[in-house]
Structure 1
Amino acid sequence: MAPMITHRPVFAPDARFFAITGIVMALINVGAFSFFAAMGISSFRATIAVHVHAILFMGWVLLFVCQVSLGAAGSLALHRKLGWLAVGWALAMVIVGTLSTIWSAQKASVPFFFLPAQFVLMNPLSVVLFAALLSGAVAKRRDRAWHPRLIICGMAAIMGPSLGRLLPAPLLMYSMLTAVFIGMVAFPIAGMIRDKLRYGHVHPAWWLGLVSLLLLQLATETLGRSAVAGAIYSSVVAGTPGERVPGLIYQPPPFPKAS
């Protein structure tokens, strides 16, 4: 009698959801920025600062996929070692992401569908929330329920730039902020639905992540439209081309006008 061959799954059943979700998030990021490159909107002729930002954030995507895959496959020793690299990487992302936002505002290159003052506030808050949720995940690194859920929520906090590149700006126009937010919260909501179906209840980590993203959106929609945000924007762009762009007024879309 031939011996029975058993096939061991690549990912542990309970961790498969986190691995698949992480890979989907990574594919969205790679697809979005590759699309812009193919359209000629992004270019390798960009400044060194842009390249540093791209290498750092796309490097994080690679590290993120590696980590969720290692965790789901049960390779926890290497996963934990790389986790400390991820912490330092996240800190660098907060610094470089904030500086990149400032430089974009100073060059008057804020996407038209955001208020410039709103943009200057939103991006730094997003990377800070990402780092905070990632830090929480590290603190809960031995808790296999909290840890992966916080990681997914943290990644969702920085999905805005990729989602913004894939969503149809000409159709959504100044509703893009809301559309991007819906895309971001889709990930923790998917986790909540999965928990409810599989376990009969929703783990509190999803609630923490969802509420954090809701607060981020609330701050962007309210504080980002306030005189405070306008004053911050004015101080950031003083003496630069961005100074000619009003912080609390939407810029006209760069679409060809009918003759």
Structure 2
Amino acid sequence: MAFLMSGVIVTGFTLQVALGRSTFAVPWPYHVHGAIFMGWIALYLAQHVSIASGQRALHARIGRIAYAYVPIMVAAGVLIMVTVARRTGAPFFFAANEFVVSNLALLLCFGALAWWALKARRYSGWHRRLMLVAMAVLTGPGLGRLLPLPLLIPNAWVITICTTFFFPLVGMAADIRATGRVHPAYLWGVGVYAAVFAASMALAYTPLGYAFTEWMIAGTAGAQRPMEAFLPPGFAM
């Protein structure tokens, strides 16, 4: 599952570059964000390979890096979210308020779940499942680059995030097949993720959510686009 989730993320970004829809000619926050998040994928896979091969000491040493890396991930995520919001308002197939409010909430959800997983490292059942749910949160950008999001307006954001639940649901199914029940780490992890997503969407459509979004993009190029998702003039798939 670790390789599958990582592969989805890498494939999504690589495909957009191959199709000419993405470019490296972007401001520096994009490059910083990309390097940090790809570094996290390498760290995540290294942890799985080390423990699967029985190298527990190496696994523990590498794991210490994550304590510093998770806050860096959150900071880099906030940086790129603010940069994109002010530069374009948000990808056109997402409502700006959804992208700003829900995106920020889910980024913090990732950080909280990953930190929880680290604190539970002595309980391997909890540790690995909570980290899987945290990683599933990060698959959204990769999945979004594989889905035909312009065709999913006005529900592109909701569909993208709901798709990320596929990974922990597979984990739950594996638990049932192996032990006849779902491990409580999945119930808590997925429950927290779902609750944060639902709450963030509700908040995004309140006056506070709109006001926060408008405040973030005020006076920037991002403020020139509509708040709701839209198709740019002349757009073609």
Same fold by TM (over 0.5)?
Answer: yes
Deviation string 1:15-42 (CA, Å, 9 cap, x unpaired) is xxxxxx0000010011000001111122
Write the distance in 2 (CA, Å) between the matches of 1:108 and 1:33.
Answer: 18
Matched residue, 1:163: 143
Deviation at 1:190, TM superposition (A): 0.8
Please point out which of 24, 40, 49 is paired with 1:44.
24
1:174-189 alignment to 2 at 5 Å? 174-189=154-169
Please point out which of 24, 27, 36 is paired with 2:7.
27
Higher Cα Rg, which structure:
1
Residues 245, 160 of structure 1: CA spacing in aligned structure 2 closer, same or farther, 3 A cutoff? same
Please point out which of 15, 40, 47 is paired with 1:60.
40
Write the distance in 1 (CA, Å) between the matches of 2:64 and 2:233.
Answer: 45
- The higher relative CO (CA closer than 8 Å, separation ≥ 6) is in 2
Identity of aligned residues (%): 33
Structure 1 unaligned residues grouped into runs of 5+: 1-20
Pair 1:226 & 2:206 matched:
yes
4+ residue stretches of structure 1 with deviation over 4 A?
none
Write the distance in 1 (CA, Å) between the matches of 2:104 and 2:51.
Answer: 29
Matched residue, 1:77: 57
Deviation at 1:109, TM superposition (A): 4.3
Give the RMSD, CA atoms, in angstroms.
Answer: 1.6
Pair 1:136 & 2:136 matched:
no
Write the distance in 1 (CA, Å) between the matches of 2:63 and 2:75.
Answer: 19
SS at match of 2:24: coil
Deviation at 1:217, TM superposition (A): 2.1
TM-score by length of 2: 0.94
Structure 2 unaligned residues grouped into runs of 5+: none
The answer to whether the 8 A contact 1:195-1:201 is kept is yes
Write the distance in 1 (CA, Å) between the matches of 2:46 and 2:209.
Answer: 38
Deviation at 1:63, TM superposition (A): 1.1
Residues 170, 231 of structure 1: CA spacing in aligned structure 2 closer, same or farther, 3 A cutoff? closer
Equivalent residue pairs, number: 236
Residues 113, 219 of structure 1: CA spacing in aligned structure 2 closer, same or farther, 3 A cutoff? farther
Matched residue, 2:170: 190
